[in-house]
Amino acid sequence: MFTADGHLVNALADWEARGVVFVSLKDNVDLSTPRGRLMFQIIGAMAEFERSLITERVRAGLRNAEAKGKLLGRPRVALDVGRVIRMRAEGASYRSIAAKLGVSVGKVYAATRS
């Protein structure tokens, strides 16, 4: 219902300024009533709380994995820079080189710039 940067809240404020009332039949929330506005705020607060809990658990998990010596992130892919440069000199595009070597186009481009 809420997003981190408040898009929904801003949209609802814009609608209200234009005389549009938001009613959610599924959630039984009518923002034209005090009860509906209270429910909206409670639901939003709970969503924000849940998001904070998830963030906290993910960070704790990452710290725990790192403390146990586990490698985090995508595995590194070795790239033969000389081969990339030769292929470029032969006229091959960055995209075709990336496809042949099984790496990203950005990695191929970075290899030619280093």
Strand 29-30 relative to strand 23-24: parallel, antiparallel, unpaired?
A: antiparallel
Tens digit of each residue's pLDDT (9 = 90 or more) over 42-81: 988 998 999 999 999 999 999 999 999 999 988 888 899 9
Q: In whole angstroms, what is the distance from residue 3 CA to residue 25 CA?
A: 20
- Distance of alpha carbon 62 from alpha carbon 57, whole angstroms: 9
What is the pLDDT, as a whole number, of residue 29? 86
Give the per-residue pLDDT at 84: 94
Rounded Cα gap, residues 21 and 70, in angstroms: 52
- Judged on CB neighbours under 10 Å (0-12, 13-18, 19+), 110 is middle
Mean pLDDT of the chain: 89
pTM of model > 0.95:
no
Q: Give the per-residue pLDDT at 5.
A: 53
Phi, psi of 63 (to 5 degrees): -65, -40
Residue type for position 34? P
12 compared with 91, residue with greater pLDDT: 91
